[in-house]
Structure 1
Amino acid sequence: MTVTTATKGRPADLEGGGVRRRGAKGRGGMTKRRGVDWLLLAFAIVAAIVIIAPFYLILINSFKSPADYSNGGPLALPTALNFDGIIAFWERVNFPQKVWNSFFIAGMVALLAVLISVLNAFAIGIGRVRGRSWIVLLFLLANLLPQEALLYPLYYMFREVGLYNNVWSVIIVFTVIQAAFGTYLLSSVYGTFPREVLEAAAIDGATRWQILWRVIFPISRPTLSVLVIFFFIWTWNEFLIPLTFLVSNENQTVPVAISVLQGDRLMDVTTTSASALLGLIPTLLFFLIFQRTLTRGITAGAVK
Structure 2
Amino acid sequence: MHATTAIVTGKPGKSRPRGGMTKKRPVDWLLLALVIVGALLVIAPFYLVLVNSFKSPVDYATSGPLAFPETLDFGGITKFWERVNFPEKVWNSIFISGIVAVLAVVISMLNAFAIGIGRVRGRSWIVLLFLLANLLPQEALLYPLYYMFKSVGLYDNVWAVIIVFTVIQAAFGTYLLSSVYGTFPKEILEAASLDGATRWQILWRVVFPISRPTLSVLLIFFFIWTWNEFLIPLTFLASNANQTVPVAISVLQGDRLMDVTTTSASALLGIIPTLIFFLIFQRTLTRGITAGAVK
Q: Same fold (TM over 0.5)?
A: yes
Cα deviation, residue 302, structure 1: 2.3
Q: Which residue of 2 aligns with 1:135?
A: 126
**Equivalent AA in structure 1 for residue 6 of structure 2:** L
- State how 1:246-257 maps to structure 2 within 5 Å: 246-257=237-248
Q: Which residue of 1 aligns with 2:152?
A: 161
Task: Give me the whole-angstrom Cα distance separating, in 2, the residues matched to 1:56 and 1:107.
Answer: 29
1:235 counterpart (220, 226, 247): 226
Unpaired segments of 5 or more residues in structure 2? none
Q: Which residue of 2 aligns with 1:188?
A: 179
| SS of aligned partner of 1:261 | coil
- State how 1:111-122 maps to structure 2 within 5 Å: 111-122=102-113
Cα deviation per residue 1:178-231 (whole Å; 9 max; x = unaligned)? 000000011111111111111110111101100000000000000000000000
**Equivalent AA in structure 1 for residue 286 of structure 2:** T
Q: Which residue of 2 aligns with 1:58?
A: 49
Q: Which residue of 1 aligns with 2:20?
A: 29
Q: Which residue of 2 aligns with 1:298?
A: 289
Cα deviation per residue 1:224-264 (whole Å; 9 max; x = unaligned)? 00000000000000000000000100000000000112238
2:96 counterpart (80, 86, 105): 105
| Counterpart check, 1:261 vs 2:252 | yes
Q: Which residue of 1 aligns with 2:199?
A: 208
| Counterpart check, 1:277 vs 2:264 | no
With over 3 angstroms needed to count, the CA separation of the structure-2 counterparts of 1:18 and 1:91, relative to structure 1, is farther
| SS of aligned partner of 2:120 | coil
Task: Give me the whole-angstrom Cα distance separating, in 2, the residues matched to 1:173 and 1:59.
Answer: 33
Once the two structures are overlaid, the 10-residue window that deviates more, 292-301 or 172-181, is 292-301
Query: RMSD across aligned C-alpha pairs, in angstroms?
Result: 1.8
- State how 1:63-78 maps to structure 2 within 5 Å: 63-78=54-69
Task: Give me the whole-angstrom Cα distance separating, in 2, the residues matched to 1:24 and 1:142.
Answer: 55
Which structure has the larger Rg over C-alpha atoms? Answer: 1
Task: Give me the whole-angstrom Cα distance separating, in 2, the residues matched to 1:169 and 1:263.
Answer: 27
Cα deviation, residue 19, structure 1: 7.7
Cα deviation, residue 29, structure 1: 2.8
Task: Give me the whole-angstrom Cα distance separating, in 2, the residues matched to 1:252 and 1:264.
Answer: 21
| Counterpart check, 1:14 vs 2:32 | no
**Equivalent AA in structure 2 for residue 280 of structure 1:** I
Task: Give me the whole-angstrom Cα distance separating, in 1, the residues matched to 2:173 and 2:294.
Answer: 22
Task: Give me the whole-angstrom Cα distance separating, in 1, the residues matched to 2:11 and 2:269.
Answer: 61
Q: Which residue of 1 aligns with 2:135?
A: 144
Task: Give me the whole-angstrom Cα distance separating, in 1, the residues matched to 2:292 and 2:138.
Answer: 32
Once the two structures are overlaid, the 10-residue window that deviates more, 29-38 or 204-213, is 29-38
Cα deviation, residue 13, structure 1: 7.6
With over 3 angstroms needed to count, the CA separation of the structure-2 counterparts of 1:19 and 1:213, relative to structure 1, is farther
Cα deviation, residue 24, structure 1: 2.9
Cα deviation, residue 30, structure 1: 1.1
Task: Give me the whole-angstrom Cα distance separating, in 2, the residues matched to 1:275 and 1:239.
Answer: 15
Aligned length: 293
Task: Give me the whole-angstrom Cα distance separating, in 1, the residues matched to 2:265 and 2:19.
Answer: 46
Task: Give me the whole-angstrom Cα distance separating, in 2, the residues matched to 1:196 and 1:13.
Answer: 48
1:287 counterpart (261, 268, 278): 278
**Equivalent AA in structure 1 for residue 168 of structure 2:** I
| SS of aligned partner of 2:24 | coil
Cα deviation per residue 1:23-64 (whole Å; 9 max; x = unaligned)? 432x43311111111111111100000000110010010000
Once the two structures are overlaid, the 10-residue window that deviates more, 254-263 or 102-111, is 254-263
Q: Which residue of 2 aligns with 1:43?
A: 34
With over 3 angstroms needed to count, the CA separation of the structure-2 counterparts of 1:134 and 1:81, relative to structure 1, is same
Cα deviation, residue 301, structure 1: 2.5
